[in-house]
Amino acid sequence: MRGDMNRRNFLAAGGATILCGALPVLAAQLNQFKLGIITDEVTQDFEKALAWTKGFGLRWVELRFLWGKYVMDLAPEEVSRAKDLLAKYAVNVSMIDSPYFKTLLPGTTSRFADKTDKLQSAYDRQESILETAIARAKDFGTDKVRIFAFLRVQDPRKAEERIARELERAAEIARRQNIRVVLENEYSCNVATGAEAAAMLEAVHSPALGLNWDPGNAFAAGEKRPYPDGYELLDKKRIWHMHLKDAQDAPQGKSFVWRPIGGGQIDYLGQFRALIQDGFEGTLSLETHYLNAAEDKEASSRESMEGLLRTIQKA
């Protein structure tokens, strides 16, 4: 009974609308859910991506690449242009995607580092990357900056204490500027699964550090049931954002392939039901990754968003 009541309250908070015209798909405009998309998963034409987002009745976007540039590298006039477009389409920014700590931890090697020397020296530039990311977050009216836990070493447990100290320091820098750093579990980094994310959150107590929970990345890292196995280990209050993409095991050679939401092996129906039950108040972004046979990003994102919305409705 409690779960049914939570579900009704959750859906009533935002409602659902049937869209007409170019996007004749049943879409859930769930204000409490704060659902959006990483814009470059549709197109790097920022205005087209915003129009696509609004076409689905959504009001949130996550910024990574715009007009062929990393959001971190936008010139002042480009930042102003992007802000004008966000105001035009009445869309909010959920998070700034920085590459902070997606590099080698000094003194380590990683099979994910194809240019070790360059990545090693990049550690010296991490402080300026964080400063730029914080400034960009303020530009776009969000308090969340996505970060990583360094490129994955052979045994991440041996590096956990060092990484925790680095993350604690970064969180303190962000906290002093009223910004939160959001650690993504990324399959190429030392925090890849729900289990590893739970351990790192336990090691870093800063109130300025939370998690970007990505079930797809956890699956890619070998956690074959991100929900419920990985999710159940996490401190739910420290999940501040989510990336949504589906995946399945792949035969012969590749370990996994990306799929549209609902077309893979990840139990997103169970995941969304748990989010509702747990009173999740963070933001979420579709991170499509999946490409259809024509390798059409917009069409692939449309297919995945439609699957996502159908799943939410069932929840």
Task: List, in order of start, the domains of the chain with CATH numbers.
Answer: 2-314 (3.20.20.150)
Task: Kindly report the pTM of this predicted structure.
Answer: 0.90
- What does each of the 315 residues of the chain score in pLDDT, given as a tens digit? 444 445 544 443 333 333 333 333 344 435 568 999 999 999 999 999 999 999 999 999 999 999 999 999 999 999 999 999 999 999 999 999 999 999 999 999 999 987 655 665 689 999 999 999 999 999 999 999 999 999 999 999 999 999 999 999 999 999 999 999 999 999 999 999 999 999 999 999 999 999 999 999 999 999 999 999 999 999 999 999 999 999 999 987 678 999 999 999 999 999 999 999 999 999 999 999 999 999 999 999 999 999 999 999 898
| SS3 sequence of the chain | CHHHHHHHHHHHHHCEEECCCCCCCEEECCCCCCEEEEHHHCCCCHHHHHHHHHHCCCCEEEECEECCEEHHHCCHHHHHHHHHHHHHHCCEEEEEECCCCCCCCCCCCCCCCCCHHHHHHHHHHHHHHHHHHHHHHHHCCCCEEEECCCECCCCHHHHHHHHHHHHHHHHHHHHCCCCEEEEECCCCECCCCHHHHHHHHHHCCCCCEEEEECHHHHHHCCCCCHHHHHHHCCCHHHEEEEEECEEEECCCCCCEEEECCCCCCCCHHHHHHHHHHCCCCCEEEECCCCCCCCCCHHHHHHHHHHHHHHHHHHC
